[in-house]
Amino acid sequence: MSACSTNQATEPVSGSPSPVNFSLDVAPILNNRCIKCHGGTQPSGSLDLSSYTAIMAGGKTGTVINPGNSDKSLLVSMVTSGKMPKSGAKLTPDQIKILSDWVDTGAQDN
């Protein structure tokens, strides 16, 4: 095998979600961009995004994460559409991809 074919074999398949770690990748985004409104003693919409357990519990409208399917996850839909966060800068495409990939790969607590 040539060096090129070896490198290609180790790269993710195009279109496959990248491995995402909740603690290292997802939580920092939520802590920096969402906790102001979706944290504390009275989170907006009763949706607390301050911990994995709270996120998976959902809020007033029900669950916001559909593990394995970011297209049917309210959290991803809201940030993708630009409806959230309501104040401050919107999430970057890279941040949205991290959230989507985390959900698409099963929304693990890792």
φ, ψ of residue 65 to 5 degrees: the values are -120, 130
Omega before residue 85 within 30° of 0, cis: yes
User: What integer best gives the mean pLDDT of the chain?
Assistant: 89
1 contacts: CB under 8 Å, gap ≥ 6: none
Average pLDDT over residues 21-36: 97
Mean pLDDT of the 17-45 span: 95
pTM of this prediction? 0.84
Q: Where are the domains of the chain?
A: 18-104
Residue 16: the pLDDT is 73
Predicted local confidence at residue 19, as pLDDT: 84
> Pick the residue with more confidence: 65 or 13?
65
